[in-house]
Amino acid sequence: MTSAPSTARELGEVLHPIARRLLAGRTISAGKLGVLGYLSTHGRATATTLATVQTVSPQAIATAVRELEALALVVRTPDSEDRRRIWVELTDAGRDRLVEERAVGLDWLARAIDQRLTDEERDALGLALPALRKLAAAGPIE
C-alpha cells in the first residue's frame, strides 16, 4: 500500500497541469465560477452561505457577487419576510455562461481521455472517480 504523503504528492503533481489546462480558456475566475456552480446546483443562497461553501471571506464574496451582478450573471433580491436577508440567484445568462465556461476545459479533457488513454486506463479512471469525489468534498482536515 502506498503511503498517504506519497500518494498526495503524486496526485498533486498529476492534477496541477490538468487543472491548469481545464482553466486555461476561461474568462471568469475559478472563484466566481464556484459561485455560479453552487447557485446552479443549489438555487438561491445568501452571501454568508456562499462565503462558507467557497471558504472565502464575506468581503471576497461581496466583491465577487457585485462583479457577477455587473455582468448580469446573478441578481440580488431581498427576502420577502426578512428584508435584511439578501438572496443571490443565478440568471439565465449566468446559467448559460457557466455551461460555456465549463465546456472550454471539458472539451480538451474529453479528447485527451479518448485519444490518450487505453480502454483499461479509461476504466481505471472511472473506478477512481468515487474516491476523487470524496476528496473533492472533504472539508478542512485536522
Residue 108 belongs to domain with CATH number? 1.10.10.10
Q: What is the pTM of this model?
A: 0.72
pLDDT beyond 80 at 141: no
105 falls within a domain: yes
12 falls within a domain: no
- Give me the mean pLDDT over the 104-130 stretch: 95
131 falls within a domain: yes
What tens digit of pLDDT does each residue of 13-49 get?
999 999 898 888 889 998 999 999 999 999 999 999 9
- Give me the mean pLDDT over the 89-112 stretch: 93
Supply the range of the domain harboring residue 95: 28-136
Number of domains in the chain: 1
d(CA 78, CA 86): 4
d(CA 44, CA 41): 9
d(CA 76, CA 29): 20
67 falls within a domain: yes
The CB density around residue 52, as the number of other CB atoms within 10 Å, is: 13
For residue 1, give Cα distances in angstroms to 5, 6, 70, 95, 120.
Answer: 12, 11, 51, 43, 21
Nearest Cα residue to 44 out of 80, 110, 89, 82:
89
pLDDT beyond 80 at 139: no
2 falls within a domain: no
- By mean pLDDT, which of 1-5, 89-93, 109-113 is the weakest? 1-5
87 falls within a domain: yes
Task: Supply the pLDDT for residue 142.
Answer: 72
16 falls within a domain: no
